Each structure stands twice: as structure tokens, then as C-alpha cells.
Structure 1
Amino acid sequence: MLYIFITWLILILSLIILAQGIQKNSEDGGELVYKRWSGWLIGLFVVGSVPLGFALYMELRGGYIGANIGLGLALFFTWGLCAILLCVALIIWVRYWYKRNRVE
């Protein structure tokens, strides 16, 4: 059960990093760009949290000893989503640093 909570925290942190990068890049364009992306970020959070919520429910409900394939698939899917989100956040932050250093 601890793995589920740790994975959920990693998902939240990756979305926060991505949101901060989008907000930094949209400072010159105004608040409209960030508001447009906030719906996508909420959707990505839901997509990542639903498998974790189901895995947590199955973990708390089932008391059998054995391989829990659903838990493994939920964690694998969420880790993949976190990796993709962190790569996108890295690209966004590199663009921000490039634009900031180019202007100065």
C-alpha cells in the first residue's frame, strides 16, 4: 500500500513541475494560456489517479496472498505516465531557460 501512495505523490509532483513550467512560459502571453492547460492537467491527474485508486481499493479489499497483477499494472501505467510528464516538463523548462537567457 505504501507503493501506491509514493507513486501518487510522484504523480502529483510531476504535474506540479509541469504546471509551473507552463505558467512560467505563459507569463509573456498572459493568463489565458495557463487557464487553457489547467483542464488538461486535471485530466492527466484523473487518468493517473484512477488506476491507483482501483489498486488501493483492491489491496484493501483483498486479503489473499499471491501475485497482484492489477496492482503491478496500475503502478506500471502510472510510472510510465509520470516519466512522460517529467520529460515534457523538462522540455518546457529548457525552453523557458533558453528564452530567458536569450533575452538577457
Structure 2
Amino acid sequence: MTAEEVFEALADPTRRRLLDLLADRGEATATELAPELGISRQAVVKQLGVLDRAGLVTGRRQGRELRYAVRPDELTATARWLDRVAHRWDSRLALIKRLAEADPPADGG
């Protein structure tokens, strides 16, 4: 998966809430999750499909239903990427600060 797919999946507040619920519970079915979100089971299944395609959740069959759980690998990889970007920006901002605070060069005039 790409960071873009992860960000797109996380852009929706319902999907973020689904991830939170699954992280808290360990795993759950769409039927179990729907009442907590105030949306239909079918809407939950649709949102879980988006999360699954982004590599953020996985489903395993138990009887007639799928039990979903968070797959932390993609979240961890995306978080590491964000940390690297933040570090580069922090380094650049620190350089700008040092340059701004440095003594002005003598202009000879």
C-alpha cells in the first residue's frame, strides 16, 4: 500500500472511528460495530472495505460473518514516513532560525 491510500482511508471520520473501535476491541463484526456508529451494517461493511484495501484492517471468516481487526503494519509504516518528513522540516527550520539569528555580514560601507 502507499501512504496516499492510507491517508485517503483515514480522511473519513467514520473510518477513523472504526479503527478506534477495532483497536479497543481487538476485533469485531460489522453487525457489532454498526450500532456504535449509528449507521447501517451495510455502510460499515463498505467503510471496512476501504480500510481493508488500504491495508489497515483484515477480516477473517467466523461462521457467516467476518471478524475484522486492525493491521498495524501500514499505520506504522505511514507513521515512520511522517516522522522522517517532520525531521527534515525540523532540520530546515532550525537552519533558517540559525541564519536569521546570525550576525549580519559586514557590508563594507
Alignment TM-score > 0.5, same fold: no
TM-score between both structures, scaled by the size of structure 2: 0.37
- The structure with the larger Rg is 2
TM-score between both structures, scaled by the size of structure 1: 0.39
Q: Which has the higher helix share?
A: 1
Higher relative contact order (CA 8 A, sep 6+): 1
Q: Which has the higher strand share?
A: 2
